[in-house]
Amino acid sequence: MTAVLISDNGPHSADSWANAAAEYIFAISPDIASGRLIEAKRVQIGIAMALLPLFKSVMTAERDNLKADEAHSDKALGVDAVWVASVIQQIITLAQTSPWKDKLSSVEWVSQAINDVTSFLHSVQQIERFWHADTNPDNKSAKAFKATYHGISE
């Protein structure tokens, strides 16, 4: 499954990211059993709400780092694995009253959710770096970062 976010000439909002990640890690099939759709959406919204502070924090930290460090775009992407695991634990807890408590507590789902959320957070960092490059064309590090993905523009 692919998630695509569209924004009006700028980075995506934290709630857009959290919602997209929730829809991705807890996808609701069009063939969901009768009578379970609203409950599934409740769980999905709970997941998005649990993820929202994490996305806000990563976005804010990335923006602050880009402002404070001219060479930040040269650094590796990275997020706090402990915080990601903590948020996944919150999701497991909220799912305990749902029909999907066993699925969302399984080692396989937890492992995949951690990987997927981390990937989304890395995408947040990349988008922030692209936006920074667009709005700071004289920053050599940002310009080089963007060229890595979009080619040389000179």
pLDDT at 145: 82
pTM score:
0.89
Q: Which of 6-10, 60-64, 110-114 is least confident?
A: 6-10
The secondary structure element, H or E, covering residue 140 is: helix 140-150
The C-alpha torsion from 104 through 109 and 112 to 117, rounded to 10°, is: 0
pLDDT at 139: 87
Measuring CA to CA, which residue among 82, 96, 87 is closest to residue 54? 87
DSSP string, 81-135: HHHHHHHHHHHHHHGGGSTTHHHHHSHHHHHHHHHHHHHHHHHHHHHHHHHHHHH
In this predicted model, which residue has the larger pLDDT, 146 or 124? Answer: 124
Give the mean pLDDT of the chain.
91
- The answer on pLDDT for 45 being more than 70 is yes
pLDDT at 6: 66
Q: Are 104 and 22 in contact (CB under 8 A)?
A: no
